[in-house]
Amino acid sequence: MTGPGWAAFLVAAGIGAPLRYLVDGWAQDRIGGTFPWGTFVVNVSGCLLLGILTGLGLYHGLGAGPRTVLGTGGLGAYTTFSSLTYETVRLAEEGETGSALRNAGASLLVGLMAAGAGLALAAAL
């Protein structure tokens, strides 16, 4: 990656991480409860956006540079596997095994569905 490519990557990551914090807090404040809805919303929306980005590359010729900057830099900083894992373990440790299983399962299933929807949306453009 070139110098300007790295700079764009850092800018995208610098936008993605604070955006994750804001969306997480917004969703958790509105939905409430002990289930980690904020992280769920962040990760599912990130999957949708990554599906769109992948589709733009596959069907519309979006180059590797922009895909790396936006996908790895921006969406990599926006989404959070570590928080998903931490919150799933926290729920299990607090005796909320059902919520822990729902968090892990729903995050995987709905995330895959969102990525597929994003890919289909980009293909339809």
φ/ψ region of 62 (left if φ > 0, alpha if ψ in -120 to 50, else beta) reads: beta
One-letter amino acid at 101 equals: L
**Structural domain for 57, as ranges:** 3-124
Residue segments in the chain with a per-residue pLDDT below the cut of 50:
none
| 94 burial level (CB within 10 Å; 0-12, 13-18, 19+) | exposed
